[in-house]
Amino acid sequence: MIARVLESALRTSAASFPVVTVVGPRQSGKSTLVQQTFPALPVTNLERPDHRDEARDDPRGFLHRRRHGAILDEVQRVPELLSWLQVEVDADARPGRFVLTGSNQHALSAAISQSLAGRTDVLTLLPPDRGEVARFPSPPNDLWTALWTGCFPRIHDANIPADRWQAAYVATYVERDVRAILNIVDLIPFSTFLRLTAARTSQETNLATLGADAGVAQPTARAWLSVLESSFLTMRVPAWLRNTRKQLVKAPKLHVVDTGLVAFLLGARSPDELRGHPLRGAVFETWVATEIWKQRVHRGLTPRLFHWRETRGLEVDLVVDDGAVLWLVEAKSGATLAGDWFPPLAAALAATRAEHPGREVRACLVYGGDEESARHDIRVVPWHQIGSLAPQ
């Protein structure tokens, strides 16, 4: 298995906190990462019924038998265990004793905030970014093959055909987990909702329209989307309030976290079908947004990502607030640079610099071609060099 960028932040947290929690979507590599990082810690998988029953029936004994430390996988399956873990680490606060993993933020967040506040650092592991995927023996080197394949590590590590893996993932993890959380009896409306969500990637969220198209009420659509987000399968990027005196569209943008899942849910059966799909530009924008998100969370940072669109005027796909630097990022899937790509971004750059004279503001255009350049004070980054935008 490849080395992951998050390992450094994981080791740093384990040197300071008695508990470290790694969350992220299923099959993103959480268990592999923590076991590789802490090989001396025994592993307990709470997906196993016997381990789960032991933790529920005798939590004090369960933790006593692991008092020298342990990795507890999929701890959201027994959230009540965290109250007992609080007592254990309060009695012995040695750093790095327990490492937890979880794949549902909704099930974990309340338990962590109530029981482990101040006792655990919470890190997020998403599917590998482009730089990490390149560490596999045979990474895809063509843009549309890379987007169609997606980034889940099992596909690359075991050479599983991407469409077969995505089909199994949706059936065994996405639908199963969401059905368990929401107690969905009829799977057909939810399957429709999933596909409609994929078709709206890189679009502003409109729950009323999404629910109506899926045949469910708006509150149901909101609940379903919330569960997808808490399972790290979607993310919503809020609007950038560049100037509160101007009228802005304030709806967040929706992104599905893995473009391989998007391609599968859109019915694209090959990279060529994705290349020619009407939503190819939206899929590429989602890939750029999620790559930049991964670059930050895998370094233990809290990403501050926004989108910017005025009701009349300027639009920027992604605004990245890195503190010292404010990035304006535009995504274009074309392999050939077009002259009309640059003036809107240059105007947004000039306006933002004028309104934030004390900040360093940079503009970047990520495109589907291969050559790096600069135009109109805008950095042009080929898709395969997106790792160069990671914070240093």
Same domain, 174 and 244: yes
For residues 97 and 164, membership in a common domain is answered with: no
Is 34 among the domain residues? yes
Residues 287 and 320 in one domain: yes
Residue 301 lies in a domain: yes
Are residues 151 and 105 part of one domain?
no
CATH number of the CATH domain containing 17 = 3.40.50.300
Q: Which of 78, 99, 124 is the last residue of a domain?
A: 124
Question: Which of 129, 264, 276 minimizes the C-alpha distance to 201?
Answer: 264
Q: Which residue has the tokens 């740093």?
A: 12
Q: At what angle do helices 187-199 and 259-266 cross, to 10 degrees?
A: 120
Q: d(Cα 205, Cα 197) in Å, to the nearest integer? A: 9
Q: Over 90: is that where the pLDDT of 313 sits?
A: no
- Distance, CA of 17 to CA of 10 (rounded, Å): 10
Residues 83 and 211 grouped into a single domain: no
> Is 299 part of any domain?
yes
pLDDT tens digits along 343-384: 999 999 998 999 888 899 999 999 999 999 999 899 999 999
Tell me what the mean pLDDT of segment 69-75 comes to.
95
What is the reported pTM?
A: 0.94
Among residues 106, 124, 142, the one where a domain terminates is 124
Query: Do 230 and 368 belong to one domain?
Result: yes
- Asked whether residue 151 falls in the same domain as residue 107, the answer is no
Range of the domain at 52: 6-124
pLDDT bucket at 69, cuts 50 / 70 / 90: very high
Q: Nearest to residue 288, comparing CAs of 366, 362, 364, 344? A: 366
Residue 1 in domain: no
pLDDT band for position 104 (cuts 50, 70, 90): confident
pLDDT of residue 248: 61
In terms of residues, how long is the chain? 392
The verdict on 178 and 80 lying in the same domain is no
Query: 173-187, 288-302, 377-391: which range is least confident on average?
Result: 173-187
Cα dihedral 250, 260, 386, 357, rounded to 10, equals: 0
The CA distance from 120 to 112, in Å, is 8
Please check the confidence at residue 105 and state whether its pLDDT lies above 70.
Answer: no
Residue 185 lies in a domain: yes
Tell me the two tokens of residue 233. Answer: 């399968």
Pair 106, 225 in one domain: no
Check whether residue 328 and residue 303 sit in a common domain.
yes
What was the pLDDT predicted at 311? 66
Q: How far apart are CA 354 and CA 231, in angstroms?
A: 39
pLDDT digits (tens, 9 = 90+) for 186-202: 778 888 899 999 999 99
pLDDT band at 97 (very low <50, low <70, confident <90, very high): very high
The domain tally of the chain equals: 2
Q: Is residue 318 part of a domain?
A: yes
The reply to whether 177 and 44 lie within a common domain is no
Residue 88 lies in a domain: yes
What token pair was written down for 25? 């979507």
> End of a domain among 124, 154, 184?
124
Residues 311 and 180 in one domain: yes
Spatial CB neighbours of 237, under 8 Å, sequence gap ≥ 6: 252, 253, 254, 255, 289, 305, 306, 307, 318
**Nearest C-alpha neighbor of 258 from the set 158, 155, 134:** 155
Evaluate whether 379 touches 363 at the Cβ level (below 8 Å): yes
pLDDT digits (tens, 9 = 90+) for 203-249: 999 999 999 998 889 998 998 898 888 888 999 999 987 665 555 66
